């Protein structure tokens, strides 16, 4: 039987054009698709630049509901089979836009999502932000975060900050982990409509009303 | 179909003058607005309940009791009564008392409230919001329908042989709506009991309201209270009108831009396109409001938010004149068209008393005219 096409959502919070954050996101997406193709699994990659919905994200914070444009992005991201989330490191953490996007989505909507986290920054001194700030956020959201997080400092795009485990090596490793998680996951078949109710729900709070 | 207004009761600086009314000015303004609702021929006035500034209505039945004495016709209601943090015993007593004072012109809309600290201030935990709403309402119903209540639940101190006083007027509890912005459990609760479901509507896109109301209707039928089209639906709405559309936009924009709820966020135009807010001529309000039926079906109650964001009393009264003179008469006429005879009106005290009498007279197991009355 032919394998079902898996969708990979890529969320990138880079701000400039062109953006190294977007470049890293593209590399991870290509590598993950390639790994899944090796397993005979076709993929569809959907890339979302948060800059395109930046005002919508902030409006959602203020009004409590997403605009149709943002709603479409949220639906696509939370309904995917896998997530590649990439942010620049600003002031020791994920960019505010990146954090805000994940703040406005339903906190149950990434449960069990196979995820790779990645970040860019000027120097490698910020690399731990991935593990002390960004990984805990996805853990809170109950995403399944691949062990390898990919950090690219400016110099990684040249000769490399690390000549032993180069950026392409790290991307490939993370892509392999994500591909395995996606291949094993049936998550997108069981995406939960936030407007549905648990089967065990009792509208009386468990009481037998004496009508 | 019933038309009216619901007031949040915010005490907000008028952004065009910088003036903030005193608490008493604001409270008296709300009372004046409620009387105007009757004067211009609308049907319902509903007040919010809040326990934190900048909101003034912490004691809704005190206000509604005064309005009851000053009016003869309108239904006095709430939007919403906090079923989570208020003691259901006190709700049962307050609203039964109000029924007697107002000769039955009373119903209420239950809600959970959305201000985190209110829960601990009243000894509760916001994470238990839904269980509180379910358990407290289960008790509230029993206090109204049973003379003596023995009760033990998770949240409230137990009751043994407790009788709430006064008893509901004519032995019939006030009709209850369950209000929600986006929580399907509350729509399920309303459907389970055959109560009304009031969709806030104004803070979310119409597509969500349509989903919630559709869900409630389906579950109402599932629980055997009637067909889906017979479920009792109320909607919020939000309008600002002037004869000329451009004047309405120009005048309302500073209030919108600085409003406590959505101010400093999306533009007036964005918010108008994404929610039911309508700023324009009376005809535009008529057209937009008639469109609500397209996605929720024939419904029973339409309440508008008009009194908020620092709008001066004079302006609000002018809005009510426009609503009463130019908008609602057309809405009544148009909503009545093609409305199936099987779609009920919103229950009133008189209809509930009649239905209870019919149910009492019917032999056991015989179907009764209104599914609402027996629940």
**Which of A10, A20, A1 has its CA nearest to residue A119?**
A20
Inspect the interface and report whether the beta carbons of B203 and A210 lie closer than 8 Å: no
- What pLDDT score was predicted for residue A196? 76
Asked if A200 reaches chain B (Cβ–Cβ under 8 Å), the answer is no
**Which of B348, B277, B368, B367 has its CA nearest to residue B75?**
B348
Q: Nearest CA to CA, how far is B275 from chain A (Å)?
A: 10
- Which chain B residues are within 8 Å of A62, Cβ to Cβ? 262-266
- The pair of structure tokens assigned to B163 is 């009788």
Q: Which of A53, A58, A62, A63 to mutate to test binding with chain B, by most B CBs within 10 Å of its CB?
A: A63
List CB contacts of B35: < 8 A, sequence separation 6 or more: B67, B70, B71
Mean pLDDT of B286-303: 97
- What pLDDT score was predicted for residue B182? 84
Please, are residues A7 and A81 in contact by the beta-carbon 8 Å criterion? yes
Mean pLDDT of B112-116: 84
Please, are residues A186 and A80 in contact by the beta-carbon 8 Å criterion? no
- What pLDDT score was predicted for residue A211? 47
- Which chain B residues are within 8 Å of A211, Cβ to Cβ? 374-375
pLDDT at A208 over 80: no
Share of chain B above pLDDT 70, in %: 97
- What pLDDT score was predicted for residue B371? 45
Please report where in the chains the tokens 């130019």 appear, as a residue.
B326
Give the confidence band of B260 by pLDDT, cuts at 50, 70, 90.
confident
What's the mean per-residue pLDDT of chain A?
Answer: 92
Q: Nearest CA to CA, how far is B366 from chain A (Å)?
A: 16
**Which of A14, A191, A10, A31 has its CA nearest to residue A117?**
A10
Residue B326: HSE in the Cβ half-sphere, 13 Å Cα cutoff: 15
Give the Cα separation of B320 and B305 in Å (integer).
11
Asked if A100 reaches chain B (Cβ–Cβ under 8 Å), the answer is no
What residue in A sits closest to B270 (Cα-Cα)?
Answer: A67
pLDDT at B170 over 90: yes
- The pair of structure tokens assigned to A73 is 């992005």
Residues 30-69 on A with a CB inside 8 Å of B are 58-59, 61-65, 67-68
ipTM: 0.83
* φ, ψ dihedrals at B298, nearest 5°: -65, 130
Kindly compute the dihedral angle of the four CA atoms of residues A18, A24, A29, A32, in this order, to the nearest 10 degrees.
160
CATH number of the domain where residue B51 is located: 3.20.20.30
**Which of A10, A175, A65 has its CA nearest to residue B265?**
A65
Inspect the interface and report whether the beta carbons of B134 and A209 lie closer than 8 Å: no
Instruction: Using CB atoms, pick whichever of B142, B185, B261 lies closest to residue A201.
Output: B185
SS3 call for B369: coil
Share of chain B above pLDDT 90, in %: 91
List CB contacts of A76: < 8 A, sequence separation 6 or more: A7, A9, A46, A48
- Which chain A residues are within 8 Å of B270, Cβ to Cβ? 59, 67
Q: Could you name the CATH architecture of A6-190?
A: 3-Layer(aba) Sandwich (3.40)
- What pLDDT score was predicted for residue A202? 82
**Which of B66, A27, B71, B82 has its CA nearest to residue A8?**
A27
Domain that holds residue B291: 2-374
Give the confidence band of B164 by pLDDT, cuts at 50, 70, 90.
very high
Beta strands A93-94 and A82-90: pairing type? antiparallel
- The pair of structure tokens assigned to B47 is 């007040």
SS3 sequence of A31-87: HHHHHHHHCCCCEEEEEEEHHHHHHHHHHHHHHCCCCHHHHHHHHHHHCCCEEEEEE
Give the confidence band of B261 by pLDDT, cuts at 50, 70, 90.
confident
Distance in angstroms between the alpha carbons of the first and the last residue of chain B: 22
- The pair of structure tokens assigned to A197 is 């109710």
Inspect the interface and report whether the beta carbons of A64 and B204 lie closer than 8 Å: yes
- Which chain A residues are within 8 Å of B265, Cβ to Cβ? 58-59, 61-63
Q: How many domains does chain B have?
A: 1
Is the pTM higher than 0.80?
Answer: yes
């Amino acid at each position: 039987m032919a394998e079902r096409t898996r969708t990979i959502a890529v969320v990138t919070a880079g701000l400039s054009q062109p953006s190294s954050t977007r470049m890293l996101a593209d590399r991870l997406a290509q590598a993950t698709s390639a790994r899944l193709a090796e397993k005979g699994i076709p993929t569809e990659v959907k890339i979302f630049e948060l800059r395109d919905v930046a005002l919508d994200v902030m409006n959602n914070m203020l009004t409590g509901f997403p605009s149709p444009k943002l709603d479409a992005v949220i639906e696509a991201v939370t309904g995917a089979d896998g997530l590649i989330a990439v942010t620049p490191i600003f002031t020791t953490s994920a960019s505010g836009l990146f954090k805000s996007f994940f703040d406005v989505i339903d906190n149950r909507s990434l449960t069990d999502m196979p995820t790779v986290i990645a970040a860019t920054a000027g120097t490698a001194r910020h690399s731990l932000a991935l593990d002390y700030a960004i990984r805990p956020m996805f853990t809170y959201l109950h995403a399944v975060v691949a062990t390898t997080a990919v950090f690219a400092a400016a110099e990684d795009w040249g000769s490399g900050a690390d000549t032993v485990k180069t950026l392409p090596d790290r991307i490939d490793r993370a892509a392999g982990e994500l591909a395995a998680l996606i291949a094993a996951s049936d998550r997108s078949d069981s995406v939960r409509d936030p407007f549905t109710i648990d089967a065990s729900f009792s509208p009386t709070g468990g009481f037998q009303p004496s009508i | 179909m019933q038309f009216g207004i619901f007031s949040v009761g915010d005490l907000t600086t008028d952004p065009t003058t910088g003036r903030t009314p005193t608490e008493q000015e604001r409270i008296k303004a709300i009372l004046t607005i409620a009387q105007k609702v009757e004067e211009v021929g609308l049907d319902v006035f509903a007040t919010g309940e809040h326990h934190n500034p900048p909101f003034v209505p912490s004691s809704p039945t005190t206000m509604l009791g005064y309005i009851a004495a000053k009016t003869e016709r309108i239904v006095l209601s709430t939007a919403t009564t906090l079923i989570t943090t208020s003691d259901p015993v006190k709700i049962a007593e307050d609203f039964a008392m109000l029924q007697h004072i107002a000769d039955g012109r009373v119903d209420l809309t239950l809600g959970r409230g959305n201000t985190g600290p209110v829960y601990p201030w009243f000894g509760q935990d916001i994470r238990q919001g839904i269980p509180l709403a379910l358990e407290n309402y289960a008790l509230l119903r029993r206090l109204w329908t049973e003379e003596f209540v023995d009760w033990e639940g998770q949240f409230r101190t137990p009751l043994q042989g407790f009788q709430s006083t006064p008893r509901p007027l004519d032995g019939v509890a006030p009709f209850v709506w369950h209000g929600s912005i986006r929580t399907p459990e509350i729509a399920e609760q309303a459907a389970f009991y055959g109560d009304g479901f009031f969709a806030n509507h104004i803070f979310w896109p119409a597509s969500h309201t349509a989903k919630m109301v559709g869900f409630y209707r389906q579950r109402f039928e599932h629980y055997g209270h009637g067909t889906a089209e017979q479920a009792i639906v109320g909607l919020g709405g939000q309008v600002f009108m002037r004869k000329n559309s451009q004047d309405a936009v120009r005048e309302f924009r500073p209030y919108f831009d600085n409003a406590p709820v959505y101010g400093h966020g999306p533009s007036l135009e964005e918010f108008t396109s994404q929610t039911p807010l309508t700023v324009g001529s009376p005809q535009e309000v008529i057209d937009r409001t008639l469109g609500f039926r397209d996605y929720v079906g024939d419904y029973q109650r339409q309440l508008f938010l008009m009194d908020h964001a620092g709008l001066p009393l004079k302006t609000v009264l002018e809005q009510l004149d426009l609503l009463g003179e130019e908008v609602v008469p057309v809405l009544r006429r148009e909503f009545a068209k093609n409305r199936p005879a099987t779609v009920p009106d919103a229950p009133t005290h008189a209809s509930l008393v009649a239905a209870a009498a019919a149910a009492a007279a019917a032999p056991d197991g015989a179907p009764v005219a209104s599914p609402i009355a027996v629940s």
